Amino acid sequence: MKQVLIPTDFSLPAQEALQYVRRIFWEEACTFTLVNTYTPSIPNSRFMSRGNTIQPLQNAGPEASKRGLEQAIANSYEALPNPKHVFKYFSSYNLLAQEVADLAASLGVDLIVLGSRGAGEQESGILGSNTIRILNRVRFCPVLSVPVYHNLELPQKIVLLTDGMRPVSRKELSPLVTLATFLDIPVSLFCTGNAQDSLCEVRSLNMKCLKEQLCLPDPYGNVLPVDRVIEEGQSVIFSTAGEHLLCLPRDPYAPLEKTVGLLPLPDNAVSRLPIIFLPHLPEYSNSSQVRDTYMIGRV
């Protein structure tokens, strides 16, 4: 049974993220664990009476959090009833990124899913502050970021976008292969770089390894210079919202803000797309514990 962790602030983006991932794994037995963190309102004044009125205020945070989680689960199941989907929840007095990291490690989570932005965050930029904090804090688990679109269509293609300068192991690629297999959709690989060195030795070797691991044809067929990716981003690689799922490997030597900020695509194109960030696993291994599952890719 797959374990999916969903941080939520009970906003529309969080609700859409939950429904989106449930539709992806509709035929799979899954446990969806919702997590919400709170900061209780604790009165602290030497002029305040120390009567029984303090206790309800102290309980307002946890009670509101628990009610919100129960209501979110009820709303999700009412909209998409499925006996294969089991729900749990955690309500905690903690920092959200820390709580998500702790739960992901203790529960053995397969995937973290959250909205691209929270309820109170500005529309500018690709990702909200909480999403960036979680991505920077949790690097050992894949994270799926879902934009705010009602009934977002399931993707028809996964686009793996990389600069080709870092090797990506089979184990790090396994979330991509799993999603492609469940959705029965192709994977396209695009390598961005400067036109002068787009086929440098390191990039060529890493691209060749990626193509072989994904069973994709032509190891250099989709190596595009940065200017071409920007120029063709709207019409060739990405089109309507939800039609593609963008996949980004993690850069262990750069914060997430830098990785997204250097993404060679317009913000308005990327912000409409769900993005899965692959895990970074320091010890590259193709051990027998990793299932040798491949897909036939179509470009």
Q: Give per-residue pLDDT as tens, 187-212.
A: 888 776 655 555 578 877 888 888 88
Determine the topology of domain 1-151 in CATH: Rossmann fold (3.40.50)
Whether the predicted pLDDT of 57 surpasses 80 = no
More confident residue, 158 or 152: 158
pLDDT of residue 252: 64
pLDDT of residue 98: 94
Q: Report the pLDDT averaged over residues 266-273.
A: 64
pLDDT of residue 246: 86
Band of the pLDDT at 249, cuts 50, 70, 90? confident
Q: What stretch of H or E contains 118?
A: none
pLDDT of residue 296: 30
Same topology for domains 1-151 and 153-299, yes or no? yes
Is residue 295 a contact partner of residue 215, using CB atoms and an 8 Å limit? yes
Whether the predicted pLDDT of 51 surpasses 90 = no
Whether the predicted pLDDT of 290 surpasses 50 = no
Lowest pLDDT segment from 33-37, 66-70, 241-245: 241-245
Round to whole Å and give the CA distance between 235 and 225.
16
Whether the predicted pLDDT of 29 surpasses 90 = yes
pTM: 0.80
Q: Which residue has the tokens 């989680």?
A: 69
More confident residue, 250 or 80: 80
Residue 6 pairs in a beta bridge with: 34
Is residue 120 a contact partner of residue 254, using CB atoms and an 8 Å limit? no
Whether the predicted pLDDT of 42 surpasses 60 = no
Q: Which of 211, 270, 215 is nearest to 241 (CA)?
A: 270
pLDDT, tens only, 159-197: 888 877 788 888 999 999 888 888 888 888 877 665 555
Round to whole Å and give the CA distance between 294 and 214.
6
To the question of domain 153-299 being in CATH 3.40.50.620, the answer is: yes
> What are the distances in angstroms from CA 127 to CA 43, 130, 239, 270, 276?
34, 8, 19, 10, 12
Q: Which residues are within 8 A (CB) of 180 and not within 5 positions of it... i.e. 6 or more apart?
A: 158, 186, 187, 295, 297
Whether the predicted pLDDT of 17 surpasses 50 = yes
More confident residue, 202 or 78: 78
Whether the predicted pLDDT of 58 surpasses 80 = no
Beta strands at 143-146 and 275-277: parallel, antiparallel or unpaired: antiparallel
Whether the predicted pLDDT of 270 surpasses 90 = no
Percent of the chain with pLDDT over 70: 66
pLDDT, tens only, 126-149: 788 888 899 989 989 999 999 877
pLDDT of residue 205: 84
Round to whole Å and give the CA distance between 199 and 220.
8
Whether the predicted pLDDT of 49 surpasses 80 = no
Domain limits, the chain: 1-151, 153-299
